[in-house]
């Protein structure tokens, strides 16, 4: 969830729109980690995520003058970030074909040589990779950014019911993969 106070963000964004670069730097700093997180979740790849994050930050900085304050700055900024990530995904043509049986197709990484944190990240990426980027975006906006369904529907331009379905699919994919790992670990235990 974003830590920044929405009203404070809006004030900073207005100052930034008026040319205050210190305010711009501050408001970007407030949201940068989550912007990167959304890009990482949508793209599932560290390098692509960095490219998308840079594009998103540049777009936010350049378009800050168009922010009118009618919506929350975070909603506006994550819309820009999500679009940047989805554009990057389309450019790289890495959209996977969704599958109903994620557990069967999930590729479990070789966790023997990885610490738990890295394994978890890879698991998340591997699980979400089974979903189209638009599904991953819904999951990221809900679980990472903390938007409610209505905000996500607004950002993605889809009905709230579709948002619910996409979030469910994303979580289910990860739950299945995590369940497989636990099962696999149990099997490896003597």
Partner 1 sequence: MNDTAPPLEPEELDELLSAELDSELDAVARERHVPTETLVARIRATPGAAERRAALAAARDVLAETPDFDDLVSARIRAKAVRAAEAEQTARRKARARRRNRVFTGAIGIAAAAVVAVAIAASLSGHGNHTVAASAPESPRRTAAHPAATGSSLVVPPNAPAPEARLGTFTSLRLLALAAVDESATHKYSVSGTSSGRVPSALGSGGASAALPANSASRDQDGLSQKTAPAFTGNGKALPTCSAPSRAPTGDPLVFTTSATYQGQPVVVFVFEGTRARTVEIVDRACRVLNVQSIG
Contacts with partner 1, residue ranges (CB under 8 A): 16, 19, 21, 24-25, 28-29, 32-34, 36-37, 40-41, 49-50, 53-54, 57-58, 60-62, 64-65, 100, 120-121, 123-124, 127, 139-140, 142-144, 148-149, 160-161, 164-165, 167-176, 178-179
Least gap, CB of 164 to partner 1 (angstroms):
5
Least gap, CB of 124 to partner 1 (angstroms):
6
Residue length, the chain? 190
Least gap, CB of 61 to partner 1 (angstroms):
4
Task: Give yes or no for a contact between 128 and 170, defined as CB atoms under 8 angstroms apart.
Answer: yes
100 vs 110, beta carbon nearer partner 1: 100
86 vs 174, beta carbon nearer partner 1: 174
Question: Measuring CA to CA, which residue among 109, 49, 105 is closest to residue 82?
Answer: 49
Task: Give yes or no for a contact between 85 and 42, defined as CB atoms under 8 angstroms apart.
Answer: yes
Least gap, CB of 190 to partner 1 (angstroms):
25
187 vs 190, beta carbon nearer partner 1: 187
CB atoms within 10 A of CB 121: 15
86 vs 153, beta carbon nearer partner 1: 153
Beta strands in the chain (DSSP E): none
Task: Give yes or no for a contact between 79 and 87, defined as CB atoms under 8 angstroms apart.
Answer: no
Helix (H) or strand (E) holding 49: helix 46-63
């Amino acid at each position: 969830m974003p830590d920044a106070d929405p009203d404070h963000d809006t004030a900073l964004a207005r100052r930034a729109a008026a040319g205050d670069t210190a305010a711009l730097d501050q408001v970007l700093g407030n949201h940068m980690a989550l912007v990167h997180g959304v890009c990482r979740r949508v793209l599932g790849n560290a390098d692509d995520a960095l490219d998308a994050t840079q594009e998103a930050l540049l777009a936010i900085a350049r378009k800050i003058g168009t922010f009118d304050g009618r919506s929350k700055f975070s909603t506006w900024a994550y819309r820009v970030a999500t679009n940047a990530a989805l554009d990057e995904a389309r450019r790289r043509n890495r959209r996977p074909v969704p599958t109903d049986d994620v557990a069967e197709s999930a590729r479990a990484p070789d966790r023997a040589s990885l610490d738990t944190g890295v394994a978890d990240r890879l698991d998340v990426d591997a699980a979400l990779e089974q979903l189209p980027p638009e599904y991953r975006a819904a999951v990221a906006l809900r679980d990472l950014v903390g938007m409610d369904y209505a905000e996500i529907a607004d950002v993605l331009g889809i009905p709230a019911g579709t948002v619910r379905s996409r979030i469910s699919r994303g979580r289910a994919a990860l739950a299945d993969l995590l369940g497989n790992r636990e099962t696999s670990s149990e099997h490896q235990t003597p």
